[in-house]
Amino acid sequence: MNDQAQALSVKRAQVEFHNFASLGEPERAMRVYAEENQRRGAVLRNHLAFIGPMTPFLEIGSNAGHTSYMLENEFGADGFALDISADSLRHGIALQEQWGMPRAMVRVAGDALNLPFRDGSLSAVLAFQMLSQFMDIESVFLEVKRVLAPGGVFIFAEEPLRRRLSLRLYRCPYWETMKPWERKLYEWGLLGYFVRDVIGAHQEESFGIRQNHTMELRHWHDLITKHFVAQEYEIFVPERGPGESIVKRIARRFDPQRSDWRAARLLGGTLAAVCRKAGERVPQTWTGRFETLLRCPDCNGSLDRDHDDTVFCKCGYKAPNEGGVYNLLRSVDKKELYPGDVGDAIDFSLPGHESKLLNGWYDLEGIFGNKYRWIGASASAKLTRVRPGPQRLRVRGHAHENALAQGEPLKAEIAVNGVRAGQWTLDRPGLFILEADIPDADEYRIDLSFSPVWKVATDERAFTVNLSMLKLTPRD
């Protein structure tokens, strides 16, 4: 596995971010999932003749698995949904009931760089909006090609195309946290001429998810033709206001094929591609014994399944069915990404975290796996060192729009064992991550300070932000 393609710190950030995205705002997430399925379903239908039978399929980076539910119930395919966040997959089970879908895929927590599947075991692999999270995208291509059967297809979509017409001044957030002048430029179709890459990348980047937005259309084409023998494309070029629609029309007029290829080079956009692996395709059947398609993520040996619904290997590897999800990450990654209740982390969604809290915390709130606590001007907690080596403190929280309503930015300061570890200024509402290197110690007292405080008429408490996790991580 190419560990340079995606650092362990990024994998940690993905697990945390997917929990937030899937669990933190469930009503908004449901709406977004439905909209994504409409777009993705349209892409699949446009290329069904080229795609052919998709059973057994694998969707990598599936988040809550919403698109895999669509594949099972609308396209009649059988297969797997894989994501590095087991909690997102578990929460996604609620979709089956809410959407009235009788069929479900097998849910697997896993790594796209070490797919727990046998060579040549799958008819189709799908990926939506996830390849750009790898610094070495070709590493994912190689792993996808390994698990695809001869003649199998790799379907990916919503991957960003690098835009040439841009000054690349800064990363811009999503619409919800844009400033008034940014929203105006967005409506005019001019904001894209100033931002560094995809609008909205600011949120993922601030969370620690490094993104690869270096791929122009020609780079994608070269990579696809290097590993696959046939392909079909769909290109989506934005038209956000006259500033982009005029350029798009001009570029299309001067394109020899009257296509959007030239417009995509200038304005960017997204690419959808259906790629076929070399070899003669043989239709496969789905027996329900899905473990026969799997391989051990530790030793690459065969996996079996016992009467307790635990997937296991002769090497000693085990993955029980935990709330509908089999965690098939490598043992070393599973230990790091899913440590449970440990001394060097306070995860507010886990019972027993209260023992590590000191003063300043309000009652626990939130739903599903995204629990949080509001604080006033300050709060304190204690963490205990578990792992050797240099440590880094990571604090995850959310700034309400009221925190910025007084016309001044939100200021944060963290002290560790009485020594200031860092100061930050937050000028946008929404999710935030604060990180700081901290000195060696066996135990840590974490003192958090935020200002300004704010109040609401129906509550006597003073608020600043809410926090959902404090943890120590190695300095990668």
Q: Provide φ and ψ at 312, rounded to 5°.
A: -145, 165
Which among 223, 251, 276 is the end of a domain? 276
> Are residues 101 and 246 located together in one domain of the fold?
yes
Instruction: Give the gyration radius of the chain's Cα atoms.
Output: 23
Burial of 142 (0-12, 13-18, 19+ CB in 10 A): middle
The reply to whether 122 and 269 lie within a common domain is: yes
CATH number of the domain where residue 468 is located: 2.60.120.200
- Strand ranges, E, within 36-133: 57-60, 79-83, 106-109, 122-128
260 and 380 both lie in a single domain: no
User: Do 29 and 137 sit in the same domain of this protein?
Assistant: yes
Q: What is 245-305 written as a DSSP string?
A: HHHHHHHHHHSTTSSSHHHHHHH-EEEEEEEE-SS--------S-GGGGBB-TTT--B-EE
CB 26 within 8 A of CB 368: yes
The answer to whether position 408 is within a domain reads: yes
Q: Closest Cα to residue 380, out of 462, 444, 464? A: 444
391 within a domain of the structure (yes/no): yes
On whether the CB atoms of residues 70 and 41 are closer than 8 A, the answer is yes
On whether both 132 and 237 belong to a single domain, the answer is yes
Long-range pairs of 218-221 with CB within 8 A, sequence gap ≥ 24? 218/265, 219/162, 220/159, 220/161, 220/271, 220/273
Q: 352 and 251: one domain?
A: no
**Percent composition of the chain: helix, strand, coil (DSSP 3-state, to 5):** 30, 30, 40
Rounded-to-integer distance, Cα 320 and Cα 454, Å: 46
Q: Does residue 161 form part of some domain?
A: yes
**Pair (268, 358) in one structural domain:** no
- Give the DSSP H/E element, type plus range, for residue 474: strand 466-474
pLDDT in tens, the chain (476 residues): 555 677 777 787 777 777 665 555 666 778 889 999 999 999 999 999 999 999 999 999 999 999 999 999 999 999 999 999 998 898 888 888 889 999 999 999 999 999 999 999 999 999 999 999 999 999 999 999 999 999 999 999 999 999 999 999 998 888 888 999 999 999 999 999 999 988 888 777 777 778 888 999 999 999 999 999 999 999 999 999 999 999 999 999 999 988 999 999 999 999 999 999 999 998 888 888 999 999 999 999 999 999 999 999 999 999 999 999 999 999 999 988 888 888 999 989 888 999 999 999 999 998 766 789 999 999 999 999 998 889 999 999 999 999 998 889 999 999 999 999 999 999 988 888 899 999 999 999 999 999 999 999 899 999 999 999 999 988 86
Enter the pTM of the model: 0.89
**Residue 312 domain flag:** no
The verdict on residue 441 lying in a domain is yes
Among 257, 276, 295, identify where a domain stops: 276
Domain assignment present for residue 295? The answer is no
Total domains present in the chain: 2
- 99 and 239 in a common domain: yes
Co-location of 237 and 380 in the same domain = no
> Is 191 within the bounds of a domain?
no
| Residue 173 placed within a domain | no
Which residue range is the domain that position 358 belongs to? 345-474
Does 148 share its domain with 43? yes
145 plus 253 within the same structural domain: yes
User: What stretch of H or E contains 37?
Assistant: helix 26-46
What CATH number should be reported for the domain holding residue 96?
Answer: 3.40.50.150
Question: Would you state the structure tokens that stand for residue 110, as one six-digit string?
Answer: 């896993």
Strand order in the sheet with 304-305: 230-236, 269-276, 148-161, 122-128, 57-60, 79-83, 106-109, 325-327, 318-322, 310-312, 304-305
**In a shared domain, residues 257 and 112:** yes
pLDDT computed for residue 2 by the predictor? 57
Final residue belonging to a domain, choices 250, 276, 302? 276
